[in-house]
Amino acid sequence: MKRNLRVFFFLLGLGIFAFFVHQTGWDNIWPTVSSLGWKAPLCLLPYLSVFVFDCLAWKISFGKHGTPGVRWWTLFKIRWAGEAVNYVLPTAYVGGEAIKVYLLHKRGIDPKVSAAASIVSKSSQTLAMVIFIAIGAVLSLNYIPPDTGARQGMLVVTILAFLAVGALFWMQKHGLFTSLLRFLRFFRIRVKKLEEQEEHLRHMDELTLKFYLEERRAFVETTLVFLVGWFADVLEIWFVCWLFGLDLAFTQAFAIEAFISVAKAVGMFSPGSIGVQEGGIVFLFKLFELSAPVGVAYALIRRVRELLYGVVGWLLIYQEEGEVKGITAKAKEEAKALD
């Protein structure tokens, strides 16, 4: 069933993107892409700032334990490697997060400490993302034509986003996964995999709650730095559009990036949100009445950037291990520290 769902979203996303490409016309798209010329590599630079802020937030999430003996540059490379694995294998705690635990353990960091930091950082990053989307939803109302169905939809999304922020803050205190399980059981909804992992999920909640109560300042700092990372993500779309000669207001770029995050979340069943992300980007450019050729060009550039950053991450793993094969198997051994 899960595989069928992934195939469905993959084909749906590709279909939507192909439709927009056909509608826009390759004759209009290619001149836009080729107009960058020697400036094309510059499109890869803004996203590096996102990696820096996310790594800083991750470091803060270790709280009072810290990462003694591990230099910043080493920590940065480990996170980059882990995110590359997460991109290919969207199975967080047996994929990229376990890679981080494994590589830090090699440097003397207690697996239970780094596992707890992974859980806390993911929780904080999710909270920061929802806040980011809520702000983006508000900003979008300034750019969507009035008296349209899209504007009404954005109003609904704005309300839901702020409700989600409040719900997440409440769930931080009462246990994110525990609250989710209670909610599902209240409506008599059974999710077998969640129920099988109930003990593990409760443990994750305990770790997050302990960090939230005992190191609240660090929790707030982690969330705020992740939020700054989401803000930095806006620089990419704003900068690339500027290179294309499209004068995009930063607040407009912010709103578009916020809903690209929503598109990626919807397409999480497709590896790397392939197709869904591209279709979502072009749809948003049309919704905001921006150049469709620039929208398609940006969608392609963003995908190339993700692939290149992913390749660098896997090269870092190869540099660390001398091989790529079997790295996830080794990491799964460390994943036991998450139980």
Q: Find how far residue 290's CA is from the centre of its chain.
A: 24
Dihedral of the alpha carbons of 235, 237, 243, 245, in degrees to the nearest 10:
-120
Instruction: Quote the number of domains for the chain.
Output: 1
Residue 171 has pLDDT above 70, yes or no: no
CB 239 within 8 A of CB 47: no
What's the pLDDT score for residue 193? 61
The predicted structure's pLDDT at residue 237: 93
Check if the beta carbon of residue 338 is closer than 8 Å to that of residue 93: yes
* Summary mean pLDDT of the chain: 79
312 lies in which domain range?
Answer: 2-338
Give the amino acid at 228.
V
Q: Could you give the CA distance from residue 302 to residue 244 in angstroms, rounded to a whole number?
A: 14
| Cα gap 303→277, rounded to integer Å | 9
Whether the pLDDT of residue 2 is over 60: the answer is: no
Are 280 and 260 within 8 A, CB to CB?
A: yes
Alpha carbons 272 and 307: distance in angstroms, whole number: 10
Residue positions counted in the chain? 339
pLDDT above 80 for 37: yes
Give the DSSP letter of residue 333: H
Contact between 80 and 58 (Cβ < 8 Å): no
C-alpha distances in angstroms, 17 versus 21, 60, 84, 252, 265? Answer: 6, 39, 24, 22, 17
Global pTM exceeds 0.85: no
pLDDT of residue 213 exceeding 80, the answer is no
Compute the distance between CA of residue 95 and CA of residue 334 in angstroms, rounded to an integer: 11
Please report the pLDDT score of residue 327 as a whole number: 65
Taking only the tens place, the pLDDT of each residue in 92-141 is 445 677 888 888 988 888 887 887 888 788 878 888 988 898 888 888 88
- For residue 302, how many other CB atoms are within 10 A of its CB? 19
In 25-89, where do the E strands start and end?
none
Among 33-47, 200-214, 305-319, the least confident range = 200-214
> Is residue 283 helix, strand or coil?
helix
